[in-house]
Structure formats: structure tokens, C-alpha cells
Amino acid sequence: MPLFSVPKEVAVGTAMLGVAFATGMLAGKRYPSLVFGTPKSSKSIIGKSGPLWQYILDHSLREHPILKKLRLLTADHPWSKMMVSCDQAQLMANLVKLIKAKKVLEIGVFTGYNTLNMALVLPDNGRVIACDINEDYVKIGKPLWKEAGVEHKIDLRIKPAIQTLDELLASGEAETFDFAFIDADKESCNEYYEKCLRLIKKGGIIAIDNVLWSGRVLKPRKDDLTTQSIHHLNEKLLRDARVNISMLPMGDGVTLAFKL
């Protein structure tokens, strides 16, 4: 038995590719096979299928038991594909620890997997400002924040994230945050990025999720404003002298922007 079995929701990036998972995976399969494309080929932009992907998780994933509980709980949700992939969350937790972050932003909480993930690695006086508009999603994960003993580190703001970011700026919190994860409505990603850049300290990190958008960024259609928005931010980031960047083919693509 692997130390960490891999249920369907691990493949958020793959799911975002429009992949439907084969039925029966919950009955024992560690990882679902793909039902479109050639099952054993790496049809996805990130090649997250098959035994090698399983191997990566078996040999790298160190998931807190309550985090795992939340992941499995979220897996039953009709929108489970929105949850960040566990390998990506682990990278973000490692970055948060590495830079000794105290104040972090989560823009788009959903059931709070990454909110919990970051809260778990923050010091006791650390804070996650968690932004979402949908309290029903957040309610699913909230009891597990408490169970993990990190509820006091999470400051949940249920309102449009732009409003929360503006309030933080207005209350003099510019350049006080260490890390931000941008993962809400993609049409606003540029605005989120600009506001986060003001809120983050020099040396802080902004992680922008879904930058590959299931591959649609390769050929953004004129009428697809979501893809256009992601693509424009990707183009802008390439030339943005305020940050150093890395675009990683993890999940549905994540860009790390390191503030200079």
C-alpha cells in the first residue's frame, strides 16, 4: 500500500482539462484512468496520469491527516475540481515556510484546502486573510480548520475579494504580506495581481493559479474573455520588471512571481 493513496481530486489540473474520470476509481483504484484521448498516453499538458504520477505522489506527498480529511470530504462536492491539487498545495506550504511567512492571502477559498494548508505551517501568530464570496463552500471546510487547531490563524472575509484587498490597502497594510495565492474568478486576475503586488513585501511571493487554463491559453478565442484575461496576465508577467517569475506545469499551471 502506498503511504498516500491518490483519489480522483488530486488531478485538479487534469480535471480542469475537461477530463472525465473513469468510473470505479473509488472502488480501489489509486488513480483514475482517462476516458478521453488515449488512456495511457499523456494527453494532458502536464501528463498527470499513470504510474509515474502515482510514484511522484507516493514519494513526495506529506499531507497532514486533517488536510487529507478535507481533501476527501471535498472530493464528494460537485465542484471538487476547483480544489487545488495536493502536490501544488504542498509546494506552496513549503514556500510559505521557506520565507518564514507570517501574513498570507488566499484569494478564492472554496472549501478551504489551501487555506488550511497554509495555516498549518504559519507560526501561531500568523494570519491567513481568506477571501471568498460563497460562504456555503467555506462552511464545508471550516470545522476542519477548528479540528486542526488553526482556526485562530484564519481571518475569513466573505465579500468580493477586490473589496477585501482594497480595504487592506486602505487600512495601511501595503507591503505587509509575505505570500498570496490568487485562485478566484479569472476575469479579475490582473486586478488581483496588481493589488497583491502592492500588499506583498519585497521578497514576497504571489502564486497565480490556472495560468495554462486547460491549454486554452495556446489559442485564446476572442469571445472567451476568461482565457483572454489569463493570457494577457501571462504576457504581462513575462515583461514585468517588478517581479522574477517561474511558470510551473503543476496542476493547471501556476506562476510564481517573486517581488523584487
What is the distance between the alpha carbons of residues 165 and 160, in angstroms, rounded to a whole number? 9
Burial 10-41 (b: 16+ CB within 10 A, else e): bbbbbbbbebebeeeeeeebbbbebeeeeeee
Q: Which of 9, 87, 178, 183: binder of ligand SAM (CB under 6 A)?
A: 183
What is the distance between the alpha carbons of residues 124 and 135, in angstroms, rounded to a whole number? 25
Q: Is 132 in the site for ligand SAM (CB under 6 A)?
A: yes
Q: Is 9 in the site for Ca ion (CB under 5 A)?
A: no
**Nearest to 87, CA basis, from 22, 178, 11:** 11
Task: Write down the least CB distance from residue 185 to ligand SAM, Å.
Answer: 4
Q: Segment contacting ligand SAM (CB under 6 A): 142-150, 183-191, 217-225, 248-256? A: 183-191
Binding positions for ligand SAM, 57-96, rule CB under 6 A? 82-84
Q: In what order do the strands lie in the sheet with 243-248?
A: 154-158, 127-132, 103-107, 177-182, 200-209, 254-259, 243-248
Q: Quick one: 178 or 252, whose CB is closer to ligand SAM?
A: 252
Q: Which of 31, 110, 145, 213: binder of ligand SAM (CB under 6 A)?
A: 110
| Residue 153 CB partners (closer than 8 Å, separation 6+) | 119, 122, 124, 126, 127, 128
Task: Write down the least CB distance from residue 155 to ligand SAM, Å.
Answer: 14
Q: Is 109 in the site for ligand SAM (CB under 6 A)?
A: yes
Rg (C-alpha) for the chain, rounded Å, is 18
What is the distance between the alpha carbons of residues 26 and 120, in angstroms, rounded to a whole number? 28
Q: Is 210 in the site for Ca ion (CB under 5 A)?
A: yes
User: Among Ca ion, ligand SAM, none, what binds residue 185 when CB lies within 5 to 8 Å by partner kind?
Assistant: ligand SAM
Q: Which of 4, 31, 53, 137: binder of ligand SAM (CB under 6 A)?
A: 137
Q: Which of 41, 60, 134, 244: binder of ligand SAM (CB under 6 A)?
A: 134
Number of residues in contact with ligand SAM, rule: CB under 6 A?
18
User: Among Ca ion, ligand SAM, none, what binds residue 137 when CB lies within 5 to 8 Å by partner kind?
Assistant: ligand SAM
Q: How many residues does this entry show for the chain?
A: 260
What is the distance between the alpha carbons of residues 85 and 13, in angstroms, rounded to a whole number? 7
Q: Which residues bind ligand SAM (CB under 6 A)?
A: 82-84, 108-110, 113-114, 131-134, 137, 160-161, 183-185
Q: Which residues bind Ca ion (CB under 5 A)?
A: 183, 209-210
